[in-house]
Amino acid sequence: MQPRSLVVGFDADDTLWHNESIFEKVHERYRALLAHYHDAATVDRTLFATEMRNLELYGYGVKGFTLSAIETAIALTAGRIRAEEIQQLIDLGREMLAHPVDLLEGVSDVLAEVSREHRVLLITKGDLRDQERKLTKSGLLAHFQHVEIVSEKDEGSYANILRRHGIDPARFLMVGNSIKSDILPVLALGGCGAHVPYHLTWAAERVEAVPDAPGRFFQLGSIRELGALIEKIA
């Protein structure tokens, strides 16, 4: 790779700004709401199963989560949940959608540095309107030449993005917190991946082992290490 021919893709949630920590706080309030019906483990297990079952219909994001949370609450209470409790769940969803965008430490500086020398893309999945809102409020939009908000981040979706923008996979580096969604599909296409772990990982995004791809898979302690990595790759 030549330095100025490298294309860098960034994930958004939990790579550029906090996201899973917001969901975790809502989970705590959800468990408390249903505590007089079921224990926390049962609530968590049932909610996750409902989310996975509904994923194909609702996709990722707050709206799908809220619908699954309401469905789970009705099931776990055998329909006894009160209307005001359902309203509380709706209000939780509204709060999440209105939550301020809280950037991770170092993100603004790193994006400014990388975008001066390289072509930069944002590639994220989730609800279109919510992701657009967060990107606008983040103040980071100007750093990206292209923005891709997709329903799923798998090998096919990355292949389509790279083909549409004329990007050689061998000259592409994806940066993200999820090995499953940000790294493995790109490695499968012949690209590179830089994993920047977040302190929380949604169960659906967890993998059992790190990829075995010497020279193409990189584990970073923080996003501030990205500049040095790009120089090394280039």
pLDDT tens figures, 177-229: 999 999 999 999 999 999 999 999 999 999 999 999 999 999 999 999 999 99
For 73-130, the pLDDT digits (tens) are 999 999 999 999 999 999 999 999 999 999 999 999 999 999 999 999 999 999 999 9
Rounded-to-integer distance, Cα 202 and Cα 182, Å: 14
- First-to-last C-alpha distance (Å) of the chain: 5
Bridge partner residues of 9 (DSSP): 121, 174
Rounded-to-integer distance, Cα 68 and Cα 51, Å: 6
28: Cβ contacts below 8 Å, ≥ 6 apart: none
The answer on pLDDT for 156 being more than 50 is yes
For 158-185, the pLDDT digits (tens) are 999 999 999 999 999 999 999 999 999 9
The answer on pLDDT for 1 being more than 70 is no
Rounded-to-integer distance, Cα 70 and Cα 35, Å: 15
- The helix (run of H) or strand (run of E) holding residue 228 is helix 226-233
Average pLDDT, the chain: 96
**What band does 3 get if pLDDT is binned at 50, 70 and 90?**
very low
* Residue in this structure with the two tokens 């990388």, named with its chain if needed: 114
- The hierarchical CATH code for the domain 3-17+101-233 is 3.40.50.1000
Task: Specify the pTM.
Answer: 0.94
The answer on pLDDT for 4 being more than 80 is no
Superfamily of domain 20-97: Putative phosphatase; domain 2 (1.10.150.240)
Which two tokens mark 151? Answer: 């329903």
Rounded-to-integer distance, Cα 2 and Cα 136, Å: 31
Q: What is the pLDDT of residue 203?
A: 95
How many CB atoms are closer than 10 A to CB 205?
17
Domain limits of the chain? 3-17+101-233, 20-97
Enumerate helices (H) and strands (E) in the chain, giving the number of each: 9, 6
Q: What is the pLDDT of residue 5?
A: 74
Rounded-to-integer distance, Cα 153 and Cα 163, Å: 15
